[in-house]
Amino acid sequence: MAGDEEIIHAKWGKLTAIKVVEVGEHENIVLWFSSKHDHQLIKAELDMIFSPIVWLSHFSKQCQS
């Protein structure tokens, strides 16, 4: 399942992100990807022993000609 969702990121403010909910064996994992950040993973909620929330902390984009 996927869809757009607005999230607030401490470093980049309000972002519209693509929310993806894993299905199957890892159904309790939710991932958010930002088109503004070249579709990089910017947030992840993992349902594990400690249930961490992981945020992208650094992003750089290099253009080669």
Domain hosting 6: range is: 2-55
**What pTM was estimated for this model as a whole?**
0.70
Per-residue pLDDT tens digits for 3-30: 889 988 888 889 899 998 887 776 678 8
Q: Domain total for the chain?
A: 1
Residue 63 lies in a domain: no
Residue 62 lies in a domain: no
Residue in this structure with the two tokens 């991932």, named with its chain if needed: 31
Residue 23 lies in a domain: yes
Specify the pLDDT at position 12. 81
Neighbour order of strands in the sheet with 53-55: 2-9, 13-21, 30-34, 40-45, 53-55
* Averaged pLDDT, 32-59: 75
- Per cent of the chain over pLDDT 90 is 6
Residue 65 lies in a domain: no
Phi-psi region of 13 (alpha: psi -120 to 50; beta: other; left: phi over 0): left
Residue 51 lies in a domain: yes
Q: In sequence order, which residues have a C-beta less than 8 Å from that of residue 16 and are 6 or more positions away?
A: 4, 5, 6, 34, 35, 36
Residue 38 lies in a domain: yes
Residue 60 lies in a domain: no
Specify the pLDDT at position 43. 86
Residue 43 lies in a domain: yes
